Amino acid sequence: MRAYPNATDTGRFAVLHDAAETLLDDLHERYMVERRESKECLGAEEALVRMVRLIPRTPAAGPLAIAFTDFPGLMVRLGRWWVDILPACGCDACAEDPAELIGMLRGQVGALIEGGLWERVRRGIGGSWFETRLTGVGLTARREGPLTSRDARDARRGGFAAPVLWAPWPRRLCA
């Protein structure tokens, strides 16, 4: 992620990395998921970042991906299209509170694992759009945005021609 000239104390966001790491470890222990780690570019101008994916063992449940940026911050992806960048800005004027961002991370991930993420592709006159809704404890949000023709075609081939409500994550059985 890019460095912001008006962000003087970016170190305060390092707790996001710790919280995400703890969350990922906890989810990997409690749920039947595959954990994949890699180094990836988030964009053409960006450096490689550590990416951790948790992929449920049932294809009906939505995946989680968290990128650990150098800012320090996180790029969180739920399902196919729900993306959040924490912090959203990081500048001194926005004064984002790391504790609130951690709460947001936990709330969004909690909604995903409980089956609260709905996604679809809709066609319009000007092209195709994605639409997502995330519902959880104390959380109701929706987002939408344009898709390229290729992304829309890939989404429809992947089963998103009809709305998809991701299933809850399967829990590990006690040993």
User: Could you read off the pLDDT of 16-67 as tens digits, one per residue?
Assistant: 999 999 999 999 999 999 999 999 988 777 778 999 999 999 999 999 999 9
* 148 pLDDT above the threshold of 60: yes
Closest CA to 35 of 47, 43, 26: 26
Amino acid at 112: L
Label residue 5 by pLDDT band (50, 70, 90). Answer: low
Token pair, residue 53, equals 């994916």
Q: Residue 51's pLDDT is what?
A: 97
CB 120 within 8 A of CB 135: no
Mean pLDDT of 1-18: 73
* Bond from prior residue into 72 cis (ω within 30 degrees of 0): yes
pLDDT tens string 76-90:
999 999 999 999 887
Q: For residues 137 and 38, what is the distance between their CA atoms, to the nearest angstrom?
A: 31
Helix (H/G/I), strand (E/B), else coil: 20: helix
Please, what's the b/e burial string for 131-152 (b: 16 or more CB within 10 A of its CB; e: otherwise)?
ebbbebeeeeeeeeeebeeeeb
Cα dihedral 4/51/114/27 (nearest 10): -120
